[in-house]
């Protein structure tokens, strides 16, 4: 849905004069008529996935050939960079790119008066601070921004501040069909940094007491288990029954004359984890590419109406988390 909206905006902009939102942009060479950022983050996740869709326009009289760039957080993990076609059913193409600090750049060529649209997907740690920062400083970005859109899909509360922690109010706010919120700002932007602060809603007093009660029950159960386990073993042995398995218990030593059973139990489930940890770098890269291909196909099916927004949200969240985990394993190698 958002891609279709952007395509409509591009068609409207193509008939507009070579200015972007303000007359001061008319003499600029390359500008950004539209920048859409989609933030997906759920409480409990240790990272957020970001998808930026950026439209560049050549307002000059000559062909532009050179680098295009955007800023992303320095700790971001890039998942993909693609050039998008103007047609609704156009197939995106992956493009070479390089990351230098917070600057992500790639080569491009734009004819006079034409526009080019790109999509960048990356993941950033967000759980500890609960904050995502987008650098929009004109001295760094270099391109005047005509319109900035932020789509937030999260179960946390959200507020916006600038670099000095002053509150920022969107020009427009609307709720999307998939339940996410869309915030809009028109250029020229009055702030150089947008801090998206996410925080978990505070539980009520009753909720706190329920949580405390559950924790207390779990602690009591954990402390009581060894006593009950040993007592039941003695009773069963006295009555001539089989002894309870000590496979997953830390109470019995497993090496005295009355405790000859080999340990196993829950440890057998570690095989799958060990297998995953021992995967080679080539295996992980192959899996990452396969997941990104699935995400691309999923996005195409959603744009074509074959997948609902709700189903797209569920599936894309699942595969994005898998991609993030693979990238973490690759970083540890």
CATH of the domain at 152: 2.60.40.3680
Q: Which domain-ending residue is among 199, 233, 261?
A: 199
Same domain, 215 and 87: no
pLDDT (tens digit, 9 = 90+) per residue, 72-93?
Answer: 998 899 999 999 986 666 788 9
Same domain, 240 and 172: no
Residue 269 in any domain: the answer is: no
Strands laid side by side in the 30-41 sheet: 93-94, 77-84, 115-125, 47-58, 30-41, 147-154, 181-186, 172-175
pLDDT (tens digit, 9 = 90+) per residue, 132-166?
Answer: 999 999 889 989 999 999 999 887 788 999 989 99
Same domain, 296 and 314: yes
Same domain, 108 and 129: yes
The yes-or-no verdict on residue 224 having pLDDT over 70 is: no
Residue 8 belongs to what domain range? 2-199
Distance CA 151, CA 173 (A): 10
Same domain, 129 and 240: no
pLDDT of residue 45: 74
328: phi then psi, degrees, rounded to nearest 5: -65, -40
CB atoms under 10 Å from CB of 255, counted, come to 8
The structural domain count of the chain equals 3
pLDDT (tens digit, 9 = 90+) per residue, 250-303?
Answer: 444 444 445 444 444 443 444 444 445 457 888 888 888 888 888 888 888 888
Same domain, 188 and 232: no
Q: How many CA atoms lie within 13 A of 176 on its CB side?
A: 20
pLDDT of residue 94: 93
Same domain, 120 and 61: yes
pTM for the whole structure:
0.65
């Amino acid at each position: 849905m958002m891609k279709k909206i952007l395509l409509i905006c591009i068609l409207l902009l193509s008939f507009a004069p070579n200015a972007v939102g303000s007359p001061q942009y008319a003499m600029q060479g390359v500008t950004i008529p539209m920048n859409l950022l989609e933030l997906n983050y759920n409480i409990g996740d240790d990272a957020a996935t970001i998808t930026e869709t950026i439209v560049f326009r050549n307002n000059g009289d000559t062909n532009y050939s050179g680098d295009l760039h955007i800023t992303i957080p320095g700790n971001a993990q890039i998942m993909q960079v693609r050039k998008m076609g103007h047609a609704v059913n156009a197939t995106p193409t992956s493009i070479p790119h390089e990351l230098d600090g917070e600057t992500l750049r790639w080569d491009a060529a734009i004819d006079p008066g034409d526009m080019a649209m790109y999509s960048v997907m990356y993941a950033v740690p967000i759980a500890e601070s609960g904050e995502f920062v987008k650098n929009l400083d004109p001295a760094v970005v270099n391109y005047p921004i005509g319109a900035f859109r932020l789509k937030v899909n999260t179960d946390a509360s959200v507020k916006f501040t600038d670099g000095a922690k002053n509150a920022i109010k969107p020009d427009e706010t609307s709720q999307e069909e998939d339940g996410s919120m869309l915030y809009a700002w028109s250029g020229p932007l009055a702030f150089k940094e947008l801090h998206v602060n996410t925080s978990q809603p505070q539980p009520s007093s009753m909720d706190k007491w329920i949580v405390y009660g559950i924790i207390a029950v779990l602690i009591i159960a954990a402390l009581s288990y060894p006593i009950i386990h040993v007592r039941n073993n003695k009773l069963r042995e006295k009555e001539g029954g089989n002894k309870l398995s000590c496979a997953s218990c830390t109470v019995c030593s497993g090496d005295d004359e009355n405790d000859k059973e080999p340990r196993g139990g829950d440890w057998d489930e570690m095989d799958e984890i060990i297998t995953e940890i021992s995967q080679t770098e080539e295996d992980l890269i192959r899996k990452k590419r396969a997941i990104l291909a699935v995400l691309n196909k999923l996005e195409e099916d959603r744009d074509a109406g074959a997948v609902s927004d709700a189903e797209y949200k569920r599936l894309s969240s699942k595969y994005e988390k898998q991609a993030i985990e693979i990238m973490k394993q690759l970083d540890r190698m």
